[in-house]
Amino acid sequence: MKLRIEKSVQENEWIDACLKNDRKAQRALYERYAPKMLGICARYIRDRSEAEDVMIKGFMRVFEKLETYQGKGSFEGWICRIMVNEALGYLRKNKSMYLEVEIEKAEREPDLNKIDQMMQAGDIIKIINELPVGYRTVFNMYAIEGYSHKEIGEMLGISENTSKSQLSRARMLLQKRLLEMENMLDQKVEGGYDGK
């Protein structure tokens, strides 16, 4: 509880100083939140340098709009929402949002116990990053950021059903990729036990 209060006091001091265009406070706020915000931007934008550019533009927006933050809810959550909006704006501007690929339905469910044993978090993030932009965007917004399909539709300018469809296709692609990885693991295991 004490840590949360100290963090809140520090955030309030940064906010007050940033509202007065204090460069040191802006830098401190940036350094505190930049790593997490870069992670958010990178979930939507594969190219690391482009994700960094979007994050920097997002922080510029944070400092421009700081006076609108009313202290309701988490300050970090408020910054996250700005970063998501910046990433979505980037995707819309570059018109790469609606690239879709046809996929065939996976014929069986992956063995999650086997996959859990062979994969680490970085492997899963890599698989998510391989999704087409539209699928990845909706998947991130729904599964990671916690937006509803209605909110996603409003933010992306698509229907609620399109959001649901993109999520369903993202899940099928993820399932297909996990099955491929499981099959590769099975082949390695079988190859390792050939009696030699």
pLDDT in tens, 26-50: 999 999 999 999 999 998 888 889 9
Q: Is residue 17 part of a domain?
A: yes
For the record, the structure tokens of 80 come out as: 């996250």
Same domain, 87 and 116: no
Q: Which band of pLDDT confidence, cut at 50, 70 and 90, is reported for residue 10?
A: confident
> By C-alpha distance, which of 60, 53, 123 is closest to 94?
53
Q: Is residue 69 part of a domain?
A: yes
Last-in-domain residue among 93, 120, 155:
93
What pLDDT digit, counting tens, does each position of 55-74 carry? 999 999 999 999 999 888 88
Instruction: Please identify which residue in the block is written with the tokens 């296709």.
Output: 169
Same domain, 18 and 87: yes
Q: Which band of pLDDT confidence, cut at 50, 70 and 90, is reported for residue 151?
A: very high
Asked if 49 contacts 7 with a C-beta cutoff of 8 angstroms, the reply is no
From CA 16, how far away is CA 19, in angstroms rounded? Answer: 5
Q: Is residue 41 part of a domain?
A: yes
Last-in-domain residue among 32, 65, 93:
93
Query: In total, how many domains does the chain have?
Result: 2
Q: Is residue 103 part of a domain?
A: no
Last-in-domain residue among 32, 63, 93:
93
Backbone torsion region of residue 36, taken as left when φ is above 0, otherwise alpha when ψ lies between -120 and 50, otherwise beta: alpha
The CATH number assigned to the domain holding 160 equals: 1.10.10.10
Residue 36 belongs to domain spanning: 2-93
The CATH number assigned to the domain holding 79 equals: 1.10.1740.10
Same domain, 119 and 148: yes
- pLDDT surpassing 70 at residue 2: no
Q: Is residue 78 part of a domain?
A: yes
Same domain, 125 and 83: no
From CA 148, how far away is CA 58, in angstroms rounded? Answer: 23
Q: Is residue 8 part of a domain?
A: yes
Same domain, 117 and 185: yes
